[in-house]
């Protein structure tokens, strides 16, 4: 399979559904708040005594979170040169990232290396080289669901860390709405880009099995999915499409499965308040030490 053939849902209509999800969910703001609380202290340890800093973003999407992380690192070490390598399979999202860099003055000072490919293909490419580039910070934000082999992926990226480096994995929390939905309907949902759903519990179990040191931080988040229960709402269907990994929710499932998913979303994955349905979208930020 080519890298393009292995892509996540982030091409074409998948990108527009993803953008609607980001607007509605507030996910980036929740992650940003955690990152702003956690990373400054980590940066002091990561960068101590170093004359240069290398950052690797895996599954960086349109670069919104990368921009914040890199800007924070620049603020912490204004005199230290920083490089950024980006691994992202969606050419459309890479174009968005490049456009963001073009209009952000401080990012233009950072040399970027773009790797438009799946994580597995990047690993193969790196392993084929004798001189592997190593990194002070590697972040994998909301992308661990798409990798083929979780233990091998973590082992590989951890091996790329420099002294005092950190691997930051942000993933849906165990018992979040995502975790409940995707495990209850794994037979129907884990059929395309995501073959095996993983939440924080699976990641932590993998870290423990490899004897790696880590710290886990909770990232609370919820968002209004009331529109998902209105069959005539275009936004509601786009949200449902993104949340189930299907381009067209109503066309992709039988009436029985659609009804079951909607019932589960309302009864087990969400809370209701003032006539609105709020989906539990809690995340975990896991910082793995070199």
Q: What share of the chain is helix, strand, coil (3-state, %, to 5)?
A: 50, 20, 30
Average pLDDT over residues 111-119: 95
Q: Please tell me the predicted confidence (pLDDT) of residue 18.
A: 78
Average pLDDT over residues 141-169: 95
Tokens describing residue 263: 């019932």
Q: In which band, very low, low, confident or very high, does the pLDDT at 97 lie, cut at 50, 70 and 90?
A: very high
Query: Each residue of 170-213: pLDDT tens digit?
Result: 999 999 999 999 999 999 998 878 888 999 999 999 999 999 99
Q: Please tell me the predicted confidence (pLDDT) of residue 136.
A: 97
Q: What angle do CA 93, 99, 104 make, to 5 degrees?
A: 125
Q: Please tell me the predicted confidence (pLDDT) of residue 2.
A: 27
Q: Please tell me the predicted confidence (pLDDT) of residue 65.
A: 93
Average pLDDT over residues 58-83: 94
Q: Please tell me the predicted confidence (pLDDT) of residue 14.
A: 59
Across the chain, what does the average pLDDT equal? 91
pLDDT at 99 over 60: yes
pLDDT at 108 over 50: yes
pLDDT at 129 over 80: yes
pTM for this prediction: 0.90
Q: Please tell me the predicted confidence (pLDDT) of residue 114.
A: 96
Please say whether the beta carbons of 181 and 228 come within 8 A.
no
Average pLDDT over residues 71-87: 95
Q: Please tell me the predicted confidence (pLDDT) of residue 247.
A: 83
Q: Please tell me the predicted confidence (pLDDT) of residue 15.
A: 67
Query: Each residue of 5-30: pLDDT tens digit?
Result: 334 444 445 567 778 888 888 898 99
Which domains are present in the chain? Answer: 13-175+193-225+280-289 (3.40.50.150)
Average pLDDT over residues 34-51: 92
Q: Please tell me the predicted confidence (pLDDT) of residue 194.
A: 85
Please say whether the beta carbons of 197 and 182 come within 8 A.
yes
DSSP notation for 58-97: ES-TTSHHHHHHHHHHHHH-TTS-EEEEEE-S-HHHHHHH
């Amino acid at each position: 399979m080519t890298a393009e053939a292995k892509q996540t849902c982030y091409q074409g209509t998948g990108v527009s559904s993803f953008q609607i999800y980001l607007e509605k969910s507030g996910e980036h703001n929740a992650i940003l708040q955690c990152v702003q609380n956690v990373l400054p202290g980590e940066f002091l340890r990561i960068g101590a005594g170093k004359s240069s800093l290398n950052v690797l973003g895996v599954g960086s999407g349109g670069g919104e979170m990368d921009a914040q992380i890199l800007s924070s690192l620049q603020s912490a070490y204004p005199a230290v040169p920083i490089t950024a390598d980006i691994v992202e399979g969606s050419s459309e999202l890479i174009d968005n990232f490049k456009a963001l860099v073009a209009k952000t003055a401080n990012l233009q000072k950072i040399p970027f290396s773009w790797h438009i490919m799946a994580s597995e293909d990047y690993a193969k490419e790196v392993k084929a080289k004798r001189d592997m580039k190593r990194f002070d910070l590697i972040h994998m934000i909301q992308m661990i669901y798409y990798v083929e082999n979780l233990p091998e992926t973590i082992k590989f990226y951890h091996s790329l860390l420099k002294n005092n480096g950190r691997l930051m994995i942000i993933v849906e929390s165990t018992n979040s709405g995502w975790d409940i939905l995707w495990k209850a309907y794994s037979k129907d949902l884990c059929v395309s880009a995501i073959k095996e759903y993983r939440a924080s519990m699976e990641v932590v179990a993998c870290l423990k099995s490899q004897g790696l040191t880590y710290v886990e931080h909770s990232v609370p988040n919820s968002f209004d999915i009331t529109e998902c229960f209105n069959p005539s709402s275009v936004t509601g269907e786009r949200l449902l499409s993104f949340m189930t990994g299907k381009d067209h929710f109503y066309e992709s499932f039988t009436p029985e499965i659609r009804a079951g998913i909607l019932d589960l979303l309302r009864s087990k994955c969400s809370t209701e308040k003032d006539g609105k349905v709020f989906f539990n979208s809690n995340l975990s930020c896991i910082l793995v030490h070199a």
